[in-house]
């Protein structure tokens, strides 16, 4: 880890364990890293559909089949469970950054045995700030979408497209959530269906807005 320049080439960082609890370090990381150009994606199954600083919380980090970096703010037991789940399902696991508290001997052994690149014992936020690291080629902030089940009793799906940076607290059962990049790449049923509704001469964003 003497050469940290690879961190400046990363565009998307999935922050595993980042939910709506503002007292948690994973939540605070979004304020600490503001302005450094990273597309930070909060991942929290229970809080998915709400936002952190206008960034939608997703239930899992696999809208893209080729993610850049996972920063884990979860317990060693949870970390080991996730790594095993991802490996068994055949995922291409990216660089794993174990935040202090996520690392443990058996976790490190698992990563090394599976030949998964990782960092342990250092905080990603502190490392980035101390070394003045930023994304060299940042992605733009884009709108994000949310599909929930109607709470009116008809069990219909409700689709919404929010402007970039919009804060939201989910108040209905979640069906899908993600930003425009997720909508373009995810192989889940909802984004695939939305992509199928794009009309001739229409962009995906325009279609998503029309359907909202």
What pLDDT, on a 0 to 100 scale, did the predictor assign at position 2?
Answer: 60
Query: Which pLDDT score is estimated for 161?
Result: 98
Supply the mean pLDDT for the chain.
Answer: 96
Determine how many CB atoms are found less than 10 A away from the CB of residue 3.
Answer: 6
Tell me if 42 sits within 8 A of 52, measured CB to CB.
yes
Summarize pLDDT for 175-209 with one digit per residue, the tens. 999 999 999 999 999 999 999 999 999 999 999 99
Q: Identify any residues that bridge with 110 across adjacent strands, giving them in sequence order.
A: none
Strand boundaries in the chain, DSSP class E: 12-16, 39-43, 51-52, 55-56, 69-72, 95-98, 118-120, 144-149, 157-162, 174-179
**If you search the block for the tokens 């804060």, which residue do you land on?**
167
Place of tokens 């939540």: 27
Place of tokens 């192989």: 187
Q: Residue 173's pLDDT is what?
A: 96
- To the nearest 10°, the Cα dihedral for 124, 3, 41, 204? 170
Q: How far is CA 175 from the centre of its chain?
A: 16
**What are the pLDDT digits (tens) for 52-82?**
999 999 999 999 989 999 999 999 999 999 9
Distance between CA 126 and CA 78 in Å, rounded? Answer: 23
Alpha-carbon gap, residue 184 to 190, rounded angstroms: 11
- Largest Cα separation within the chain, whole Å, is 57
pLDDT of residue 136: 96
| Per-residue pLDDT, 1 | 54
Strand, coil or helix: what is 182?
helix
- Fold classified for 5-130: Rossmann fold (3.40.50)
The domain limits of the chain are 5-130, 144-211
- Please give the structure tokens belonging to residue 167: 């804060």
- CA separation for the pair 88, 56 (Å, rounded): 27
CB-side neighbour CA atoms (13 Å) of 49: 18
Q: What is the token pair recorded at 170? A: 């989910």
**What pLDDT digit, counting tens, does each position of 117-174 carry?**
999 999 999 999 999 999 999 999 999 999 999 988 788 999 999 999 999 999 999 9
Strand partners, 56: 51
């Amino acid at each position: 880890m003497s050469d940290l320049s690879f961190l400046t080439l990363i565009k998307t960082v999935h922050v595993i364990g980042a939910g709506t609890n503002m007292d948690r370090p994973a939540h605070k990381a979004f304020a600490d890293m503001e302005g450094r150009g990273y597309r930070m994606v909060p991942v929290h199954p229970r809080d998915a559909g709400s936002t952190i600083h206008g960034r939608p919380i997703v239930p899992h980090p696999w809208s893209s089949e080729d993610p850049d970096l996972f920063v884990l703010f979860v317990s060693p037991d949870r970390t080991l469970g996730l790594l095993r789940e991802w490996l068994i399902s055949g995922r291409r696991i990216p660089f794993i950054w174990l935040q202090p508290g996520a690392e443990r001997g058996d976790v490190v052994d698992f990563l090394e045995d599976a030949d998964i690149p990782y960092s342990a014992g250092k905080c990603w936020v502190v490392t980035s700030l101390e070394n003045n690291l930023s994304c060299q080629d940042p992605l733009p902030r884009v709108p994000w979408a949310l599909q929930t089940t109607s709470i009116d009793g008809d069990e219909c799906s409700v689709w919404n497209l929010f402007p970039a940076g919009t804060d939201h607290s989910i108040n209905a059962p979640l069906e899908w959530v993600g930003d425009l990049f997720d909508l373009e790449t995810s192989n889940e049923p909802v984004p695939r269906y939305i992509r199928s509704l794009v009309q001739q001469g229409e962009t995906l964003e325009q279609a998503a807005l029309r359907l909202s």
